[in-house]
Amino acid sequence: MTRRPLFSLLLSCALGLASHPLHAQVTESPHTVAPGRVLLEVDGVRFTVGHAEADGGTVDALAVGSTLLTTGLTRSLDLQVGVDLFLRQSLSLGGRRDSDAGFGDVSLRTKWNFWRLDSGAAALALIPYVRLPTSTAGLGSERIDGGLILPWASEGPAGIVTGAMLHWDSASSADGRRHRWSGAAYVRRDLFRLLSAYAEVTLDAESGTWSAREGTLGAGALLRPWGGLEIDYQIQRGLNRRAPDWIHTLRFNWEW
């Protein structure tokens, strides 16, 4: 059975972890972590259900412990290391079900916040990254790959925050090198001092195959129970046949 690399199904779990301040799950933040501080982001569990394949099969995917560790270097630059600690994907086709599980890829990233208002209410950044082929069971990249992310965010009145990003990813495959383009946008509002809610939309497509595009619409809640700890849950619904039916993510963020 032909199967797609898991990192594309999960939108590269470790890459999908946004950096401080945190506003949504897929859309990256342009803000950096303050020098000398550390931000740990962990997807406790991320479950993707009912992803349709071109050969008629359906893929379910599970990621546990996808982690991004960020430390601030300067006011506008930070360094990030991401890893998928456990991945599993199951392909169902013609009454058969085949599963693989193992360790994922390691990603090395840096974020440059090259523009922001003095008030900090709006910002832009560049996030170049490389992905190292450390995965097992064919669940990630075959060679060293990489990409570039351009995130933007703006704070408005009444506790409303909006943001968007563009993402280009280059990855090797059995058919040669693939180039994927994706975008995401969100709007978030603070409901109470410790609770925020947000809505997020994503679109993902491979160069030259627009028919294989995938879109999702999601909603989430962000709880800040104490100190630097945040608990973030999001549910996403696929908008077309090629997208997963559902994606559930429970994330924990801790800064110190």
Question: What pLDDT does 137 receive?
Answer: 85
pLDDT mean over 184-202: 96
Give yes or no for residue 94 having a pLDDT over 60. yes
Q: Which CATH class is domain 6-255?
A: mainly beta
- What mean pLDDT is predicted for residues 36-50? 94
Q: What is the mean pLDDT of the chain?
A: 88
CA distances to 57, 154, 210, 226 from 242, rounded to whole Å, are: 11, 31, 11, 40
> Does residue 237 surpass a pLDDT of 70?
yes
What is the reported pLDDT for 20?
A: 47
Instruction: Give 135-180 pLDDT, tens digit per residue.
Output: 998 888 889 999 999 999 999 988 899 999 999 999 877 667 788 9
In this structure, of 14-28, 113-127, 186-200, the range with the lowest mean pLDDT score is: 14-28
DSSP state letter for 118 = T
- Tokens representing 234 are 């999001």
Burial class (CB in 10 A: 0-12, 13-18, 19+), 204: buried
Residue spans of alpha helices (H) in 25-82: none
The token pair that represents 139 in the structure block? 């669940």
120 has a pLDDT exceeding 60: yes
